[in-house]
């Protein structure tokens, strides 16, 4: 064999082996990078799904809490209104049954009416003070109009409650 072939036989492996090793390492790194990118994308998908589930849970919890708050406030408001209405009905029934109210509207004599009117005013003032109805007086500047309106309301409530 000549020298040239001996040199080629010795140098070719020296050139080809590092190229083959580099190629193998490049292919191995590409595969491992591909596997790692698949793992990362799977992890991102899991995070997205868990975050969307957490968001849905948080939203449903907030909605249920808000609904419970509204139910509590509406129940509390309804109970307050029912209590105030029942108290007002009791007050109005008491006033409607008052003999002073009846005698005021049945009396024709103006002197008797003035006397009964003064007694009625004190009765209404006591009721207004006792049951804290003073805000109603603001509705009418004329006290007689207010008392007549209150009497009409009393009669209306007594008619409604009797039927």
pLDDT tens column, 104-149: 666 677 777 777 777 777 777 777 677 666 555 444 455 565 666 6
Is 91 among the domain residues? no
Please state, in angstroms and rounded to a whole number, the distance separating the CA atoms of residues 148 and 27.
102
Domain boundary residue among 79, 114, 138?
79
CB 100 within 8 A of CB 94: no
Q: Which helix (H) or strand (E) holds 138?
A: none
Q: In 3-state terms, the chain is what percent helix, strand and coil (to 5)? A: 90, 0, 10
| Residue 121 · residue 143 · CB < 8 Å | yes
For the segment 3-15, the average pLDDT, to the nearest whole number, is 82
Query: Is there a single domain that holds both residue 108 and residue 51?
Result: no
CA pair distance 87, 85, nearest whole angstrom: 5
Which residue segment(s) compose the domain that 29 sits in? 1-79
Task: Kindly report whether the global pTM for this prediction surpasses the value 0.75.
Answer: no
| End-of-domain residue from the set 79, 114, 146 | 79
Higher per-residue pLDDT: 62 or 152: 62
Higher pLDDT, 12 or 122: 12
pLDDT of residue 161: 56
Look up residue 120 and give its two tokens: 């009625």
Helices and strands of the chain, counted as H and E runs:
5, 0
Statement to judge: residues 107 and 160 lie in one domain? yes
DSSP letter for 140, please: -
């Amino acid at each position: 064999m000549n020298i040239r072939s001996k040199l080629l036989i010795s140098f070719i492996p020296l050139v080809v082996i590092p190229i083959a090793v580099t190629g193998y390492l490049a292919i191995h790194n590409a595969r491992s990078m591909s596997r790692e990118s698949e793992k990362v994308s799977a992890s991102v998908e899991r995070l997205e799904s868990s975050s969307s589930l957490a968001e849905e849970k948080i939203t449903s919890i907030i909605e249920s809490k808000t609904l419970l708050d509204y139910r509590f406030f509406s129940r509390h408001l309804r109970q307050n209104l029912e209590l105030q209405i029942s108290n007002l009905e009791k007050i109005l029934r008491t006033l409607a049954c008052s003999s002073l109210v009846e005698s005021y509207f049945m009396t024709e004599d103006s002197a008797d009416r003035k006397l009964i009117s003064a007694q009625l005013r004190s009765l209404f003032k006591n009721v207004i003070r006792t049951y804290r109805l003073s805000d109603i007086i603001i509705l009418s500047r004329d006290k007689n109009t207010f008392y007549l309106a209150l009497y009409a309301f009393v009669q209306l409530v007594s008619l409604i409650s009797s039927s």
